Amino acid sequence: MKKEQELRDWDRRHFWHPFTQMSCWGDDDPWIIARGEGNYVYDIRGRKALDAIASLWCNVHGHRHPRLDAALQAQLQRVAHTTVLGASHPPGIRLAKGLTEIAPAGLERVFFSEDGAEAVEVAVKIAAQYWQNLGRKDKRRFLSVDDAYHGDTVGASSLGGFPLFHGVYGHLHFPVERLPSPWLLQQRLQGDAEAACASWLQSLEDRLRKSSREIIALILEGGVQGAAGILPYPRGILAGAAELCRRYEVLFIVDEVASGFGRSGSLFYCEQEGVRPDLLALGKGISGGYLPLAATLAQEQIYAAFLAPFGEAKQFYYGHTYTANPLACAVALENLALFAENDLLSSVRARIAQLQQGLQRFAGMPFSAAPRQFGLMAAVPLRNPQGGNAYPYGDRREYAVCRRAREAGVYLRPLGDSIVIVPPLSVTAAEIDLILRVLQDSMAEETAA
Ligand SMILES: *Cc1c(COP(=O)(O)O)cnc(C)c1O
Please tell me whether residues 360 and 330 are part of one structural domain.
no
Please tell me whether residues 316 and 223 are part of one structural domain.
yes
Judge if the beta carbon of residue 65 lies within 6 A of ligand 1. Answer: no
Please tell me whether residues 118 and 140 are part of one structural domain.
yes
Please tell me whether residues 245 and 161 are part of one structural domain.
yes
CATH number at residue 352: 3.90.1150.10
Which residue's C-alpha comes closest to atom 6 of ligand 1? Answer: 116
Of 121, 225, 257, 269, the one to substitute when testing ligand 1's pocket (max ligand atoms within 8 A of C-beta) is: 257
Nearest to 396 by CA among 105, 22, 24: 24
In angstroms, the CA 15 to CA 236 distance is 44
Please enumerate, by residue number, every residue annotated as part of a binding site for pyridoxal 5'-phosphate. 116-117, 255, 320-321
Is residue 76's pLDDT more than 70? Answer: yes
Q: How many domains does the chain have?
A: 2
Distance 242 CA to ligand 1 centre (A): 21
In angstroms, the CA 222 to CA 259 distance is 6
Strand positions, DSSP E, 146-265 = 176-179, 215-221, 224-225, 231-232, 251-255
Which helix (H) or strand (E) covers residue 331, if one does?
A: helix 326-342
* pTM for this prediction: 0.97
Is residue 323's pLDDT more than 70? Answer: yes
Please tell me whether residues 329 and 211 are part of one structural domain.
yes
Distance 445 CA to ligand 1 centre (A): 33
Task: Read off the pLDDT of residues 288-302 as tens digits, 9 standing for 90 and up.
Answer: 999 999 999 999 999
CATH number at residue 186: 3.40.640.10
Judge if the beta carbon of residue 258 lies within 6 A of ligand 1. Answer: yes
Judge if the beta carbon of residue 147 lies within 6 A of ligand 1. Answer: no
Q: Which atom of ligand 1 is nearest to the CA of 256?
A: 13
Domain span holding position 382: 344-418
Please tell me whether residues 261 and 360 are part of one structural domain.
no
Beta strand pairing status for 141-145 and 215-221?
A: parallel
Nearest to 377 by CA among 345, 342, 419: 419
Mean pLDDT of 263-286: 98
Task: Read off the pLDDT of residues 154-179 as tens digits, 9 standing for 90 and up.
Answer: 999 999 987 776 678 989 999 999 99
pLDDT on residue 26 = 84
Distance 102 CA to ligand 1 centre (A): 21
Mean pLDDT of 256-279: 98
Percent share of the chain, pLDDT over 90: 94
Nearest to 166 by CA among 243, 244, 228: 228
Give 368-428 as a DSSP string.
B---EEETTEEEEEB--TTTSPPPPTTS-HHHHHHHHHHHTTEE-EEETTEEEE---TT--
Nearest to 113 by CA among 92, 137, 129: 92
Mean pLDDT of 120-146: 97
